[in-house]
Amino acid sequence: MLAIDAAAYRSPWRRLHPAVKGIFCGGLLVCALALPAWPGAALTAAVVLAAAFGPAGVPPRAFARAAWVPLGFILTGAVTLLVSVGGPDGAVAWDPDGWQRAAEICGRASAALLCQLLFAFSTPLAELLPRLTRIGLPSALVEIIALIYRMLFVTLDTARRIGLGQAGRLGYTSRRAWIRSVGALGATLFIRSYDRARRMQRGLECRGYTGDLRVLVESLPLRAGQVLAAAAPPLLVASTALGYGVLL
């Protein structure tokens, strides 16, 4: 299983309706993007981290590991803002105002990233996907999305096991072997995925498949109190940040 999905199933917030978590994380995401970076992004990040490690019970190690790659992208992207090119001071010159822009973008993007991660770490996709028809997506598309999600884990497991076998036969010892092994892995994966889909099709047909794949969706109540509680922190962050801006 993927670390984020596994954590989402264990989350204490799993029983909350996805819309409640969407309002909380989405509201904070809007705060991170729309408010002035100082203090908006800092406040948002603080609220998200407090919620994640407090009531949402997100495992810190898995959270840090998931955040690592996108944070790397944010930092690499921000580094380019420190210099300017083609100015009168030479081809590549230090930009005196660059660090302010870089810090602003780093803060904003990191806060937004934390909001996204909190949502992913508390909402299993299996509970979110069947509800996508409510926001107007065609049901055939939602069915394919759900099907991809269900086939994903078997395919990932197949890839992992083929990779393990290849590594056992020294398939990843040199770069050349690595390329050949990854190629063989991709080809085998394609063949096995198609074969499995065909066999599944045959199995479904034998059970009277008419084109509908029905799954049981756990009904979660959407309570007004929870919606209000979820909307309060983003509103509080927004008013604090805007109030801070007016006062100074």
Where in 59-78 is the site for another protein (CB under 8 A)?
66-67, 69-71, 73-74, 76-77
From the list 12-20, 106-114, 216-224, 237-245, the region that binds another protein by CB under 8 A is: 106-114
- With a CB cutoff of 8 Å and minimum separation 6, the contacts of 238 are 31, 35, 40
Taken as a whole, the chain contains a residue count of: 248
Contact 126/149 with Cβ under 8 angstroms? Answer: yes
Contacts of 132 (CB under 8 A, 6+ apart): 142, 145
223 binds another protein (CB under 8 A): no
- Does position 80 bind another protein by CB under 8 A? yes
Q: Which one, 210 or 221, has the nearer CB to another protein? A: 210
| Cα separation, 209 vs 204, whole angstroms | 5
Q: Does 29 bind another protein (CB under 8 A)?
A: yes
Helix axis angle, 175-206 to 139-168, nearest 10°: 130
User: How many residues bind another protein, per CB under 8 A?
Assistant: 84
Q: Which of 36, 138, 243, 245 binds another protein (CB under 8 A)?
A: 138
One of 50, 167, 197, 232 touching another protein (CB under 8 A):
197
Enumerate residues 150-189 that contact another protein by CB under 8 A.
Answer: 150-152, 154-156, 159, 175, 178-180, 182-189
Q: Report residue 86: phi and psi, to 5°.
A: 75, 15
Verify binding: residue 51, another protein, rule CB under 8 A.
no
Shortest reach from residue 93's CB to another protein, in Å: 8
Rounded to an integer, what is the distance from CA 207 to the centroid of its chain?
36
Helices (H), 11-81: 18-34, 37-53, 60-79
Site string for another protein, 108-127 (x = CB under 8 A): xxxxxx-xxx-xx----x--
Q: How far is the CB of 40 from another protein (least distance, A)?
A: 12
Q: In the set 42, 46, 93, 126, which binds another protein (CB under 8 A)?
A: 93
The answer to the question of residue 28 lying near another protein (CB under 8 A) is no
* Residue 131 binds another protein (CB under 8 A): no
Whose Cβ is closer to another protein: residue 136's or residue 225's?
136
Query: What tokens does 57 get?
Result: 């019970």
Q: Comparing C-alpha atoms, which of 116, 106, 89, 119 is closest to residue 18?
A: 119
Residue 135 burial (CB count, 10 A): 8
Distance between CA atoms of residues 130 and 88, nearest Å? 57
**Which member of 10, 15, 161, 198 binds another protein (CB under 8 A)?**
198
